[in-house]
Amino acid sequence: MAEGLINEYTINTLLHSLTKNGFFTVALGPGTPKIGPFLKTTCNDDPADYGTEEEIEQKTRSFISVLRRHRRQTILRRQRRQTSFDNALANFGVCLGDLLPQLKRFYPNQDIIIQVYLQQDPILSLSIIRGGTALLDLVAMADFTTESGANLGSLRIKANIEVQIRFGNSEILGHGEITQLRLSNPDGLFGISQIALDKIGEIGQAVLEKTLNEMLQAGIPIQFSTSNLGVPIELIDPQIRIIEHAIHFETDFALSQSLWKELSGEGEGGNCRRR
């Protein structure tokens, strides 16, 4: 048997390198699943049907209410699919232009492109609570442009993510919760109020949390095979678990006949198993 530990420092060093090389940069636009229909300056093709400010506010509040209800239901019944969430954007016809009227006024009928990147290195903490939990603190920037290339400004995003992780058969499973998603406006994007930012944050939090949990429910594959690495060792029943401040890995293994012969002078392979 062989075992080892990967501590938080090692993982955070890797995250630093990935951040430095732009690995966590992502572009969101009209073709992005779930959130794409929301990224518009004008929510209806008919200018006469925009509605009054009171109607827009009521529509937006109803939409936020659906997202809050979906989030509560997800916590109580994690395995149940909530179609109300997937249809909320289409049913309510809410878009970013409702929350940022300045966009609708100065850049009507345009799609919005958002470039998201980490402003600081993410910080990962590992804990044994709830059978293994990863806590991730992120600070990111979101740069907004129109489809025509006009620069709209930037928002700062601070997020705290808590993921309960379990390792299955060559896959990572679990459940995640975004415990905080806070938006701020460092460059005064169209004079947007903090109330509007909080509304946008609620929408983003619900979308991101649902996407994360869909990935974890489906399982994120991990590869334990050494055949593609040219290593003369076969891993047998590898086990991974989260402990305090580290990931613990243990596995039985079998040496190839060629390596065993070289080490022992005998002609058959050898196994090393747990006692």
Give how far Cα 10 sits from Cα of 3, 6, 66, 136, 166, Å.
16, 6, 41, 15, 20
Nearest CA among 254, 186, 266 for reference residue 225: 254
Amino acid at 39: L
Hey, where are the domains in the chain? 2-221, 227-272
CB 270 within 8 A of CB 254: yes
Q: How far apart, in whole angstroms, are the C-alpha atoms of residue 239 and residue 273?
A: 13
35 contacts: CB under 8 Å, gap ≥ 6? 28, 89, 203, 204, 207
Of 242, 27, 34, nearest to 124 (Cα)?
242
CB-CB contact of 210 with 258 (8 Å): no
Size (the chain), residues: 275
**What does the pLDDT profile of the chain (275 residues) look like in tens digits?**
788 999 999 999 999 999 999 999 999 999 988 788 889 988 865 454 445 556 555 655 655 565 555 555 554 454 444 445 555 555 556 788 877 778 888 889 999 999 999 999 999 999 999 999 999 999 999 999 998 899 988 999 999 999 999 987 788 999 999 999 999 988 876 677 888 888 888 888 888 898 899 989 888 888 776 666 566 677 778 888 999 999 998 888 777 666 666 666 665 555 556 55
Q: How far is CA 4 from the centre of its chain?
A: 28
CATH class of 2-221: alpha beta
Q: Which amino acid is at 220?
A: I
| pTM for this predicted structure | 0.73
Which residues pair with residue 184 across a beta bridge?
A: 156
Q: Tokens 């401040």 sit at which residue? A: 245
Contact present, 96 and 40 (Cβ < 8 Å)? yes
